[in-house]
Structure 1
Amino acid sequence: QLDSSTGSSAYDALNRYSQHSSRRTFYQHTQLYILGRSAAEQGIYPFLDSIARNPINRPNVLMVVSEKKARDILSIQDGMESIQAMGMAAEIKLSAEYSQYPVVTYLEFAQRLLSETTAPLAPMVGIIEQAGPEGDSVKKTRINGTAVFKGDKMIGQLNEDESRGLLWAINKIKKGFLVIPGANLEIVTAKSKIIPELQDEKIKITIAIDEESNLLEYDGHREISSDLLQDLEKGQAREIERQVMAAVEKSQALNADVFGFGDTVHRKYKKEWPVLKARWEDIYPYIEVVVKVKTHVNEIGEINKALMRD
């Protein structure tokens, strides 16, 4: 059952809720904070401040932005959990585990907010309609993007490919799958590093990625030779680079440093940073970004010959 209350601030609403609730509020069980998109676009600083000041709030609660009102999301019974908030938290964590969208705690959001240049993020949840078992329409919740903030205001979002590209760049790829023409591969390990260079007052960023995978599916008819493995590795590298560059282009269009480039430049060029920081809004959209990817296919499965030949 979903209950609600309204007020002039977050704590005013909670205080008013306690006036008609039959149970005490117990914040230690909080799974996530869901912010409606309109509220996120207006600015969520008062909400963040109220959380930070109360010692009973936990820093590892997840941050989420809903496409519509938070109430609309929480009112949908979806998944295997009886409590929608718990099911959604599990869905977000599983999505991050399989490297689809980021999982962002309140602490991580606040740390990005405190950064001089890095843009805060949060996964986004929307509502879809599917045909039910009896042909009726059933509403379900789905993670469908990554909200990008400038300060405490949401200014845009990353789609699925751009969100995956962000995870590649910031070393948040854990496991998952990579689909390329003719093959599907399982990501085994992935490491990335952001390397800044300052030359003639211009910044160049190199994103170096090292990935290993196993072959899950191959729909061609070639034998699994060293030449084919090299082709698969090149295909992976191209796909990873495409995803990363998609995220770079969107973030530069939004002028929001989702990667933390500014922080890496600050750490390496401390003397030059004060001047760069003052101009970061003008610099960031035009930073040259180069993606270098090394991939390796470890396992090919139980067969090394195609079951059918051309």
Structure 2
Amino acid sequence: MVNKSVKRWLALFLTFVIFIVTGCSPTADKRKFDSLAIVLGVGIDYDSSKDNVLFTTQIVKTEEFEGGKRFFNITQAGKNMLEAVDNADNEANRVLYVAHNQIVVIGRSAAENGIFDYMDYFFRDDEARYDIAMVMTEIDAWKLLDKATNLGSIPSQEMTILLENQVAMSSCAKLELLQFAMESNSCFKASVMPIIGISQEDPETEKVQFEVTGSGVFSNGKLMYVMNRDETRGYLWGIGKIDKGEIMLPNVNVDILGSSTELKAKIEGDKKKRLVITFDIDVKGNLGEVVKPDEQNTQELKEINKACEDLIKQQLSHVLEQSFENGCDIFGVSDYLFRHKYKSWELVKNNWQDLYKHAAFEIKVNANIIRTGSLIEPIFGSEK
């Protein structure tokens, strides 16, 4: 029987052999790391004067780069994405390592020109991830990525954190690279991309704070129109992505505890077809801040429920009509018909755009304020 000492030395020997054969030594790993440019963010713009794509990479500084910002950006132009990436590789004098990339920022110029051709690069790179967040900005992407933040963090990281927080607060919907590709391959489904801008900038330090200002609607890879924050809220009601936040009413605020949305669609008519879309929304809330305490006693919960329902209907109706006007199926109605009413879909798919623009819709909302908190009356009510 082999004693424990021999087993231990045998294990150490085999481990050493594995390190030598595979090159998995600390020194080898350090050399490999030093030869890479770690990319945390990517920006895409379009230069119409030269018909060039502008490719920006945000790279983390290593120990050899000291002082100043914690990152540096490389922006290179090319007639296509491949040429621009090659030029960026040459300037970096290192291999652009995109496995840690967190975000793709699309400048307004590129969004309006169309981004289909640019997206192919991310799916052909072996190290690229498909769960990368996609956002748009009203300015050039390279300018946004070059802004130092008040918190001193790397802009791409700061935007990623902001986006995650806004999604958690039901203020916007996250759009990932793979989702965008799948929606783009759908015949008529439009994509909704968050828009990030600058809320404030210190004139002395030039440091900024980012904010989500709305959403851009993309169809066939091009920006069709922009929704503001309120319109984005209406869109979120339609896709069932409202789990937190507040419903602001004239006299009270309602804290949202959760909601659900069910979309249905059908084709009516024999000779003349008509599309009918139905939304069923259930929302639960908690009576939050009372803006006018004196009026709480006269404000019935059923009236608050009715006010919530009317506001949700108003927000969603506006966004629906906006999508009809622009011919952008942001709610996936065409996908619903394809999955659930395939025979009907086959009859109307060749005339879908006209059918969608003239669709009828019905919105049913059931609001339920389940409690008013532990206080029966507001603390700062009027004197009796």
Match of 1:205 among 273, 277, 287: 277
1:50-82 deviation line (CA, Å, top 9, x unaligned) = 212223211110111110110111111225351
Tell me what 1:155 maps to: 224
SS in 2 for 1:243: helix
SS in 1 for 2:300: helix
Tell me what 2:64 maps to: none
AA aligned to 2:303 is: D
Alignment partners' CA distance in 1, 2:171 and 2:165: 9
The question of whether the paired residues in 2 share the 8 Å contact of 1:223 and 1:304 is answered with: no
Residue 21 (str. 1) matches residue 92 (str. 2): yes
1:154-201 deviation line (CA, Å, top 9, x unaligned) = 111111111111111111122112111111121111100101122212
Match of 1:304 among 376, 379, 383: 376
Tell me what 2:214 maps to: 145
AA aligned to 1:176 is: G
Alignment partners' CA distance in 2, 1:171 and 1:107: 20
Deviates more, 1:73-82 or 1:275-284: 73-82
AA aligned to 1:156 is: Y
TM-score, scaled to structure 1: 0.92
- Percent identical pairs in the alignment equals 26
Query: Is the alpha carbon distance of 1:118 and 1:81 closer, same or farther for their aligned partners in structure 2, counting shifts above 3 Å?
Result: farther
Match of 1:266 among 338, 343, 361: 338
Match of 1:293 among 358, 361, 365: 365
Task: Tell me how far 1:302 sits from its aligned partner.
Answer: 2.7
Match of 2:233 among 133, 157, 164: 164
Residue 238 (str. 1) matches residue 306 (str. 2): no
Match of 2:290 among 218, 238, 243: 218
Tell me what 2:252 maps to: 183
SS in 1 for 2:77: coil
TM-score, scaled to structure 2: 0.75
Task: Tell me how far 1:20 sits from its aligned partner.
Answer: 2.5
Tell me what 2:7 maps to: none
Residue 247 (str. 1) matches residue 316 (str. 2): no
AA aligned to 1:161 is: D
Q: CA RMSD in A?
A: 2.0
Structure 1: state its 5+ residue gaps. none
Alignment partners' CA distance in 2, 1:223 and 1:110: 50
The question of whether the paired residues in 2 share the 8 Å contact of 1:76 and 1:140 is answered with: no
Residue 34 (str. 1) matches residue 91 (str. 2): no
Task: Tell me how far 1:281 sits from its aligned partner.
Answer: 1.0
Alignment partners' CA distance in 2, 1:59 and 1:130: 32
1:240-277 deviation line (CA, Å, top 9, x unaligned) = 11111121121112111111111112223211212311
AA aligned to 2:264 is: I
RCO greater where, 1 or 2, for CA within 8 Å and sep 6 or more? 1
Deviates more, 1:96-105 or 1:137-146: 137-146
Alignment partners' CA distance in 1, 2:150 and 2:302: 41
Tell me what 2:135 maps to: 64
The number of aligned residues is 307
Alignment partners' CA distance in 2, 1:79 and 1:190: 35
Alignment partners' CA distance in 2, 1:51 and 1:172: 27
Task: Tell me how far 1:137 sits from its aligned partner.
Answer: 7.5
Task: Tell me how far 1:298 sits from its aligned partner.
Answer: 2.1
Tell me what 1:77 maps to: 148
Match of 1:86 among 142, 151, 157: 157
